[in-house]
Structure 1
Amino acid sequence: MTSDVTGNGMQSILRAACVGVGIDASDAEPVDAPGVYRLRDGIVVRIGGREQKLASSREVAVARWLETCGVSATRVIPNIPQPVVVDGRPVTFWQELPPHHPGTPGDVAQALEQLHRLPLPGFELRRMSPLARVEDDIAAAQTVTEDDRRWLRKHLEELRGRWKVLPQGLPWSVVQGAGGGDGVVVGDDGDVILAGLGRAVIGPPEWDLVHTAIECWTAAAINASQYAEFCARYGRDVTRWDGFYLLRDIQEFRMALQSMRAAALDPTYQRQALRRLACIRGDEGMRPWPGWADID
């Protein structure tokens, strides 16, 4: 997170990092995301939080690895040691994406299939632990009752027990981790580009596939025809795998907690937080669940 730094402080970090690598930052323009700036010559600079140096280093390593593998993905600026650390904050330099539009479910499937069949990289990348630090999220949820909190803790323990006996599936690979169509875009020239690699880990490839299944069968954000296209392009329907229900339940649990975090910062998300909690508790009947909406 970078929200604890004022605009002037962020720009000071930006200027210092750019001076250190010999890049002109005089025409820097902030973009929508906090701590992200666009420079001339198609350079995008990202400033991370003090606790994000290791994560930034991994993201850079993944991007460079994908480039050596010939995979279309976000690219770092070459010949710059990254991240550059200023005031304890990692600063990374990226090539701006070409003109593009969101990928279809089929495009997402194509990008994921290419990612999942790559051999494991030669650098250390953490293994997926999808329920790590979830206790902190439950404790920090300010918009739920104590009864809700007890249920969330009990549900967490149930999911942890099921995770220990995850059914065998595809060989573990690099996975996108966060999932979602936002992590795949299509250039106006038709090139399918992996754009969301900040949470890449080693894990079950099915994890990435479950997210699209949730978009269809939980949230009704895509229709059955689009989901069929996704399965056809990837070559697998994850809902037919024995471990599907576990990964679905874990992801829905995390999505519910995400909405609670959002509600703690912005009361307008409280209705969605209560809706998601009611859904995972079984109070809303069969999926798809009406009103299960995205959190921006």
Structure 2
Amino acid sequence: MTNQTEQDDPAAVLHAAAQKVQLDDEHAELIRYGSNAVFRLPNHVIARVSRPGADAEAVERQVAVARWLEALDYPATQIVGVEQPAVVGDRLVTFWKSVSDGETYAGLADVAALIRRLHELHVPTPIELPRLQPFGSPEAPLPSFTGLKADDAAYLQERYRWARETFDDLPFALPRGVIHGDANVGNVILDRVGRPVLIDLDSFAVGPREWDLIQTALFYDRLGWHTREEYETFVRVYGYDLLQWEGYEQLADMREIAMTAWLSRQAAESEKSAAEAAKRIVAIRTGASRKDWSAY
């Protein structure tokens, strides 16, 4: 049994979970600590340790989605064949097959091809995918953003509320169906032989396909993270240009709010995140350039 101090340390949680499922976690390396603490383990295994109080149903659904995609031979990250998730106190741990020894991101042609292929899949009947609500249900409390200055937090809450109330009324043109929920170049990596693989299955849902296209369009149009040639390649392969859709500007505003809100939730723990969030809020407020936004 782990004590409270051990539960506060994701490495200790990982060790307890690895013992439960009989996996080797010696010399585990922390890769990142965001929504999950992500570790690289021996034998080509990646472990994801949730934050305290994670939604067990959501984590179990993520495991089910991985199994569904694997059964369809869709190139997505796959789980290790042990009982999952492993529960340690109020944290959940999942174990995944590592497809590469580093993180080499795929080009936008591969990203577009994987998203298009995903969007052609039928909604899986054995899995109850949620309806996409990127800003939560109407009755849910707004995020508090305690790490921000009071006026910044209040402004971001106001914009978050606007996005929540307006999202479903956008004039979506593409058919609704299975979506990744966080589709962007950062979630498609190349495996050890150079094949693109979709990762990060946390946000799978049923909803408008435009939500899976908005980040690539936004990264090109407002942030300058993709070149015109890269974006045109994405459009050609996927077969739809979101920049020509009448709801693009509003959806881009919403995606900026979602990106900034995610970062702002970390502001209380990270001065770097707090500074980046404050910079973004100024740009959203004033309409200033987003070209200096840092990638997270």
TM-score range, shorter chain: 0.7 to 0.9
Task: Map residues 180-199 of structure 1 onto 2, 5 A cutoff.
Answer: 180-199=184-203
The match for 1:76 among 61, 67, 79 is 79
How far the C-alpha of 1:163 sits from its partner, in A, is 1.9
The match for 2:149 among 135, 144, 148 is 144
Question: Which ranges in structure 2 are unaligned for 5 or more consecutive residues?
Answer: none
What is residue 282 of structure 2 aligned with on the other side?
Answer: 278
Are 1:107 and 2:107 matched, yes or no? no
Rounded to whole Å, the distance in 2 between the matches of 1:207 and 1:164 is 12
**Percent of aligned positions that are identical:** 28
For the residue of structure 1 that corresponds to 2:78, the secondary structure is: coil
How far the C-alpha of 1:82 sits from its partner, in A, is 1.4
How far the C-alpha of 1:203 sits from its partner, in A, is 1.8
How far the C-alpha of 1:68 sits from its partner, in A, is 1.0
Letter in 1 for 2:53: E
What is residue 29 of structure 1 aligned with on the other side?
Answer: 28
Task: Give a deviation string over 1:136-158, Cα, whole Å, max 9, x none.
Answer: 33x32443343x45544443443
44-53 or 248-257: bigger deviation: 44-53
Are 1:64 and 2:67 matched, yes or no? yes
Q: Once superposed, which parts of structure 1, at least 4 consecutive aligned residues long, lie more than 6 Å away?
A: none
How far the C-alpha of 1:6 sits from its partner, in A, is 4.5
What is the total number of aligned residue pairs between the two structures? Answer: 285
How far the C-alpha of 1:106 sits from its partner, in A, is 1.6
Contact 1:173 1:202 in 2 (8 A): yes
How far the C-alpha of 1:293 sits from its partner, in A, is 2.3
Rounded to whole Å, the distance in 2 between the matches of 1:22 and 1:14 is 12
How far the C-alpha of 1:126 sits from its partner, in A, is 1.2
Contact 1:101 1:188 in 2 (8 A): no
What is residue 49 of structure 2 aligned with on the other side?
Answer: 47
How far the C-alpha of 1:214 sits from its partner, in A, is 0.7
Task: Give a deviation string over 1:205-227, Cα, whole Å, max 9, x none.
Answer: 11111100110111011111111
Rounded to whole Å, the distance in 1 between the matches of 2:47 and 2:264 is 30
115-124 or 29-38: bigger deviation: 29-38
For the residue of structure 1 that corresponds to 2:169, the secondary structure is: coil
Letter in 2 for 1:144: K
Task: Map residues 91-130 of structure 1 onto 2, 5 A cutoff.
Answer: 91-99=93-101, 101-122=104-125, 123-130=127-134
For the residue of structure 2 that corresponds to 1:203, the secondary structure is: strand
Rounded to whole Å, the distance in 1 between the matches of 2:14 and 2:162 is 45
How high is the TM-score relative to the length of structure 2?
Answer: 0.84
Contact 2:119 2:178 in 1 (8 A): yes
For the residue of structure 1 that corresponds to 2:250, the secondary structure is: helix
Task: Give a deviation string over 1:221-247, Cα, whole Å, max 9, x none.
Answer: 111111101111111111122332232
How far the C-alpha of 1:128 sits from its partner, in A, is 1.0
Rounded to whole Å, the distance in 2 between the matches of 1:116 and 1:178 is 13
Rounded to whole Å, the distance in 2 between the matches of 1:144 and 1:108 is 37
How far the C-alpha of 1:83 sits from its partner, in A, is 1.1
